[in-house]
Structure 1
């Protein structure tokens, strides 16, 4: 190479996936630049499983709350409580959580740069040059690098410029309002419980939520229906839950991908991760754990690529992720396609959630991030109950 390399790796995007990748690569001894836009917070319920805290060494002190149950609300307003049992669902504020992750990356040696990615150039040696601006309309900055990780969210510019078909990834648009919330309201809000609304009036094709964040709460909704009023749905939820008069701290909206891209690398020196790779779970919309897992696998793949110079190493990120989580994503995709298609089916879905076997296996799968195989009898019982509901003859014990 005729010119010096500025960084072994440039990570574009400082959310959970990009910050995790930058941390792991810096720990591995690579020179890393973490490029992130300032002031951008993704709309997110903020739920994380205890497994995330353990696996990624996140202290409990970063949590703003611990939910001990979830409530599923059907179109008829019939509700089903799903207590977690001995465990909990951790709640994070993405404003604080994401910044903590970026600071950890810097503390481990990554160079933080605030700016907006523009494009990737290549010099006469074919080496990637990441071009970015520190402010809108500002001078174009350039850094040469061996590899680029695009963790710049749904509809990623890195992905769209370097991966064929990336612009066609299906998305749900999410909108939420973070509000100051009381411990509870007479209308039913509970600051220790996650409420999930499966109602066509609040989302014709996805779901709506109210998730507690300690002294605040996230009230949000997702839908791919462009003509649907997300703000109107949030307003309705706040009113029905007694939260209308609560102070609104911030409002956020963004697309959320619901299908992993078929290819995550360009076969040369670019790899995508997190939302840019489409690793948000269908049906549930859960993304933080999967984003951080994807970021870790991307770091491992890029580290191997920088070491060997063989771009085939980049393929290992997607291969390992799909081996571990692909089946779960496939099942959740089927669930979303079927159960969210009408209020009649949503009503049956919430009924199923009342079943003890369903609740046990749901929480086991959520906490451990894998399909539960230890109780085959429970799976058999669920199969026949699901079959009954699909045929419209299901009955749930109460």
Structure 2
């Protein structure tokens, strides 16, 4: 049985950030993942400038250009159908599309280069004390364990079995070539598109990449009486050209652990990060930024020593939970049909409201500032 200072289950955004930070600090660390990287990851794959800045902080100014598929300065908003409300253009590129197979593998290899061991193709099936057991029967022992193993985290179930499934959200997406999309008929409009009003407590998207676009929807399951697949098919018919039958077998789904964040994601020697801790932004569904941030916080808390669990819980409360509480409050208001219609109306009449939403998702302002500015009368 191998012994480590820290064992990380999950090699995606949170796990790689933890592994890199710990290995760089001289901790004997291993990342364990059931997949062999690079592997396909179903995800909208759109990140903002704040995520790029965080990645450069965590990985010591490592260039992120190799994982950027496309960069965009503009985005478009649509409401309740195929009609565009507005397009806002920022002076510089602030939105970036990434292929998660390339993105995740790139940063996992950065962790390996820093000295972190990688065990791939091994599924963790049990955790008892400091010991992790694989499906093969092999085991490793570690002083600390970080669960970065996604929405169905086995580490989370070992700590907090009471996941509130009634609040779960689901995302569906499919890749479509540009020739199969009518929403990009105007060449100058090739930029990320967000569609509100097509489902309750959620939205749709068309995110362009170099040679195709990712079309998807995501929302809380219990607020959508119609089957989410049926909602997605209706959305596809609005944005796709011709028959969508060839696309139906290619639709992929992924869970989004909304409203399931853990108030104290560390207990004793076990830490949760990323989706495993439910760190998905409630309005935008942003997960990559909070995965990287929480992965770094978990590693730094362990490196600091002392009561590392308390240190981590404090950092999460200060930098993630406070924002999420604001977002939950705003979401209950924003996605109410009357308020959503009001917001869309303002965006259609005044481009400054589109900029306001852009500033929110890119991290320039918080939800309190967003709400105050949204309700303020413009001259």
What's the TM-score once normalised by structure 1's chain length? 0.81
**Cα distance in 1 for residues equivalent to 2:298 and 2:242:** 42
Structure 1 residues 357-366 or 157-166, which shifts more?
357-366
**1:87-236 counterparts in 2 under 5 A?**
87-114=93-120, 115-122=122-129, 128-133=130-135, 139-163=136-160, 165-166=162-163, 170-182=167-179, 185=182, 188=185, 192-199=190-197, 202-225=198-221, 228-236=226-234
**Cα distance in 2 for residues equivalent to 1:149 and 1:381:** 39
**Cα distance in 2 for residues equivalent to 1:20 and 1:263:** 20
Q: 3-state SS of the aligned residue for 1:154?
A: coil
Q: Is the CA contact (8 Å cut-off) linking 1:178 and 1:217 kept in structure 2?
A: yes
Q: Is the CA contact (8 Å cut-off) linking 2:151 and 2:255 kept in structure 1?
A: yes
Residues 232 and 275 of structure 1: CA distance in aligned 2, closer, same or farther (over 3 Å): same
Structure 1 residue 219, shift from structure 2 partner: 0.8
Q: Is the CA contact (8 Å cut-off) linking 1:166 and 1:261 kept in structure 2?
A: no
Q: Is the CA contact (8 Å cut-off) linking 1:188 and 1:241 kept in structure 2?
A: no
Give unpaired runs (5+ residues) of structure 2: 57-62
Structure 1 residue 243, shift from structure 2 partner: 4.5
Q: 3-state SS of the aligned residue for 1:203?
A: coil
Structure-2 residue corresponding to 1:388: none
Please tell me whether residue 35 in structure 1 is matched to residue 40 in structure 2. Answer: no
Q: Is the CA contact (8 Å cut-off) linking 1:41 and 1:94 kept in structure 2?
A: yes
Structure number with bigger Rg: 1
Structure 1 residue 351, shift from structure 2 partner: 2.2
Q: 3-state SS of the aligned residue for 1:353?
A: helix
Q: Deviations over 1:60-80 (max 9, x none)?
A: 231111122222211264522
Residues 213 and 131 of structure 1: CA distance in aligned 2, closer, same or farther (over 3 Å): same
Please tell me whether residue 84 in structure 1 is matched to residue 90 in structure 2. Answer: yes
Q: Deviations over 1:174-198 (max 9, x none)?
A: 1111233349746657673111111
**Cα distance in 1 for residues equivalent to 2:155 and 2:164:** 11
Structure 1 residues 358-367 or 256-265, which shifts more?
358-367
Give unpaired runs (5+ residues) of structure 1: 123-127, 134-138, 386-395
**Cα distance in 2 for residues equivalent to 1:364 and 1:223:** 22
Structure 1 residues 17-26 or 49-58, which shifts more?
49-58
Q: Deviations over 1:227-254 (max 9, x none)?
A: 5333333333333223556975954312
Instruction: Report the RMSD for the aligned CA atoms in angstroms.
Output: 3.0
**Cα distance in 2 for residues equivalent to 1:149 and 1:143:** 13
Q: 3-state SS of the aligned residue for 2:192?
A: strand
Structure-2 residue corresponding to 1:22: 19
Residues 168 and 381 of structure 1: CA distance in aligned 2, closer, same or farther (over 3 Å): closer
**Cα distance in 1 for residues equivalent to 2:194 and 2:333:** 18
**Cα distance in 1 for residues equivalent to 2:50 and 2:194:** 22
Structure 1 residues 99-108 or 312-321, which shifts more?
312-321
Please tell me whether residue 60 in structure 1 is matched to residue 54 in structure 2. Answer: no
**Cα distance in 1 for residues equivalent to 2:161 and 2:237:** 44
Q: Is the CA contact (8 Å cut-off) linking 1:264 and 1:315 kept in structure 2?
A: no
Q: Is the CA contact (8 Å cut-off) linking 1:14 and 1:151 kept in structure 2?
A: yes
Q: Is the CA contact (8 Å cut-off) linking 2:87 and 2:354 kept in structure 1?
A: no
Q: Deviations over 1:255-310 (max 9, x none)?
A: 112232111012x1100000111111111111111111111111111223xxx4x4
Structure-2 residue corresponding to 1:125: none
Q: 3-state SS of the aligned residue for 1:6?
A: strand
**Cα distance in 1 for residues equivalent to 2:253 and 2:64:** 28
**Cα distance in 2 for residues equivalent to 1:132 and 1:347:** 51
What's the TM-score once normalised by structure 2's chain length? 0.84
Please tell me whether residue 382 in structure 1 is matched to residue 370 in structure 2. Answer: no
**Cα distance in 1 for residues equivalent to 2:125 and 2:183:** 50
**Cα distance in 1 for residues equivalent to 2:343 and 2:255:** 25
Q: Is the CA contact (8 Å cut-off) linking 2:172 and 2:253 kept in structure 1?
A: yes
Structure 1 residue 41, shift from structure 2 partner: 4.3
